[in-house]
Structures are given as structure tokens and as C-alpha cells.
């Protein structure tokens, strides 16, 4: 990203207000899809909203975007009600959907210019179209028909459209889905820069490794409830893990129960131990040494976001 491109976002409006969700519930007939959830998101941070399919995260985000009515509870986006004050929020909020309704023969530069023109006429704070195209890495494809773009390029165009208003808060739905490695790196950089410049970024994704690389805070949904709401470091530290890798697979049945009972075999020769009690690692190391079992790796550290997610949701995606 060039200095010119980044300069287009250097004046994003900073605000002390946050996204505030308090005791939000959403019903579809008799089905309670979202059950009294509460969380906040702050300016200058990336908040990852995670959860298995059907967990309630999409319904929650749609309420925050003003696209769906809440059944009960309160939601404030930049201090406003997103449904009642949707017009007032239009020039301050960006939304990136998984599938954009772009006309097949439309060219990226023309679509971005149209979006920026709409926001410019409303507030005078729209992004520069050429800088936006460069920012998302579509300069060489700026005049290519939308139908001829790859899936990843279409995602990058959707990201550009979400940023046309130079929003104070942006909702990104699976922004790296279908994007190649280089494109993912670029998108992570854009997301991180948005937050660093004071934007509130809400990132909904199933790609946990991508979320872990870019987010500051984590909200994990399951069965309509919020299970975890905190900083990434706090969420990972809450579940310390020990990694053990041996030269050959262990016979867990031959080990003492007080040792084997803590080992979870991820693959032959690869094991994890969650929340190990004091003295366990030392006793395990002695047992392995006495039997001449070569240890390739034995280390303690924070669990990955994926490990935490699987533990909380039972491995559902």
C-alpha cells in the first residue's frame, strides 16, 4: 500500500462512542435465535465475532447494521439506534457483505466512483476512488468487468465499497473468504490500518487463524448466547496448553492414569494438555525419560484461538 493510498484514510473520524449491545434478543416466531446477549466494541480495535453456523452471530450483526429489528434489548451504534437512525448512520457506517449485488458488466473503478459519489454528495467525506482501488490491490483490474474477476478480487471490491464513506465503524463479513495468500495479507493490513486510524472494525468470520492474526477483542457465540467476550490475550490465556511431541506414539493404556488422563492425542506422537495441575509436567518428563522415550518438543503456552473455540463449542463450525 502506498503512502497516497493510506493518506485517503488518515482522517477517519474518531469518536468516544462505541458499539453497545445490551441484553439483545432476536426471535423468529417461536425460535429464540439470540438470547439476551451483551458486548461492546471500541474505536481503534478489531472485534472478531465468532461462532458456529446458527449460533446467532449473523442475526446480532444484522440488528447492529440496522437490517433487522430486535425483539428486545438495546443496541447503539455511534450513539444511535441502528434501525431508527439508519439514515443518519449511512455516511458513518460501512458494511461488507459476503455477496455483493454488482452488475456483471460493471467495472470496479466505475462502481467505486459511484459509491464514493453518493457519499460525497451526502457528507463530503467520501474516500478517493482511485486510492480505494489501489488500497485493495485492484489497480490492474480496475477496468475488468465484475463477472471476469476472481472470487478473491470480488471480495476485495466489496471491501472497497464498504470503505467508500471512510466510515467510523465498519462491519466485515468473511472478508478473506476465497482470497489467495497475498490477498489475505493485503486485507489484514487494510483492516489493521483502519483500526489504527480510529475506526471500529467488526469482523465476522469462520477463519479463526485469520481472526487471530488481526483482532484485538473476541466475542464467541453459541446457541444464541455469548460464551466469551474479552481481549484476544485474555481469551487465550484463560486456557493454557502444554504441547508434547514424541519421536514415536505413546501407548496411553500403558501409562499411569494420573498422567495419561491429561493427555489429548491430536495425532500420533502429538499431544496437548489443558490446564495442567502443578507438578504434572515434571512427573511426565521423568516418566518419559525413565523409559527412554525421546521428546522432540515439550513446551507450555497459550492456547490458540482455534483451540479455545473448539473447546467452547464442541468443535462445531
What pLDDT digit, counting tens, does each position of 7-31 carry? Answer: 344 444 444 658 999 999 999 999 9
Query: CATH 1.10.3470: does it fit domain 239-313?
Result: no
Closest CA to 244 of 219, 256, 262, 217: 262
Same fold, 3-235 and 239-313: no
* Mean pLDDT over the full length of the chain: 89
Nearest CA among 124, 214, 195, 114 for reference residue 161: 114
**What's the pLDDT at 17?**
55
Coil/strand/helix, residue 220: strand
Q: Where are the beta strands (DSSP E) in 64-216?
A: 72-77, 93-96, 169-173, 200-204
| Matching CATH number, 3-235, of 3.40.50.970, 3.40.50.620, 3.40.120.10, 3.40.50.300 | 3.40.50.300
pLDDT value of position 141:
96
pTM here? Answer: 0.80
Of residues 239 and 175, the one with the higher pLDDT is 175
Overall average pLDDT of the 262-267 stretch? 90
Please give the helix or strand (H or E) that residue 305 lies within, else none: helix 305-313
Question: Which tens digits make up the pLDDT trace of 35-58?
Answer: 999 999 999 999 999 999 999 999
| 133 pLDDT above the threshold of 60 | yes
Mean pLDDT of 159-167: 94
pLDDT (0 to 100) of residue 7: 38
Does residue 154 have a pLDDT over 50? yes
**Extents of the domains making up the chain:** 3-235, 239-313
Amino acid at each position: 500500500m502506498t503512502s497516497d493510498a493510506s493518506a485517503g484514510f488518515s482522517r477517519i473520524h474518531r469518536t468516544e462512542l462505541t458499539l453497545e449491545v445490551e441484553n439483545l434478543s432476536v426471535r423468529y416466531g417461536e425460535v429464540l435465535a439470540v438470547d439476551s446477549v451483551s458486548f461492546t466494541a471500541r474505536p481503534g480495535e478489531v472485534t472478531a465475532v465468532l461462532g458456529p453456523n446458527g449460533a446467532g452471530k449473523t442475526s446480532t450483526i444484522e440488528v447492529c447494521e440496522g437490517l433487522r429489528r430486535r425483539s428486545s434489548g438495546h443496541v447503539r451504534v455511534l450513539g444511535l439506534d441502528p434501525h431508527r437512525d439508519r439514515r443518519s448512520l449511512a455516511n458513518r457506517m460501512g458494511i461488507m457483505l459476503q455477496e455483493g449485488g454488482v452488475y456483471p458488466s460493471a467495472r470496479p473503478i466505475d462502481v467505486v466512483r459511484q459509491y464514493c459519489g453518493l457519499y460525497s454528495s451526502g457528507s463530503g467525506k467520501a474516500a478517493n476512488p482511485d486510492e480505494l482501488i489501489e488500497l485493495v490491490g485492484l489497480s490492474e483490474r480496475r477496468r475488468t468487468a465484475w463477472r471476469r474477476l476472481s472470487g478473491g478480487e470480488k471480495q476485495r471490491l466489496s471491501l472497497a465499497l464498504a470503505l467508500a464513506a471512510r466510515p467510523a465503524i465498519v462491519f466485515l463479513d468473511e472478508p478473506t473468504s476465497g482470497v489467495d495468500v497475498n490477498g489475505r495479507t493485503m486485507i489484514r493490513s487494510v483492516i489493521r490500518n483502519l483500526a489504527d486510524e480510529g475506526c471500529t472494525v467488526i469482523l465476522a468470520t469462520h477463519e479463526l487463524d485469520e481472526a487471530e492474526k488481526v483482532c484485538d477483542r473476541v466475542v464467541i457465540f453459541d446457541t444464541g448466547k455469548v460464551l466469551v467476550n474479552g481481549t484476544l490475550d485474555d481469551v487465550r490465556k484463560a486456557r493454557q496448553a502444554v504441547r508434547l511431541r514424541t519421536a514415536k506414539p505413546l501407548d496411553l493404556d500403558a501409562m499411569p492414569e494420573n498422567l495419561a488422563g491429561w493427555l489429548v492425542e491430536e495425532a500420533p506422537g502429538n499431544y496437548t494438555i489443558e490446564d495442567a495441575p502443578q507438578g504434572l509436567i515434571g512427573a511426565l518428563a521423568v516418566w518419559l525419560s525413565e523409559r527412554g522415550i525421546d521428546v522432540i518438543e515439550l513446551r507450555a503456552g497459550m492456547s490458540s484461538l482455534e483451540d479455545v473455540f473448539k473447546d467452547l463449542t464442541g468443535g462445531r463450525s
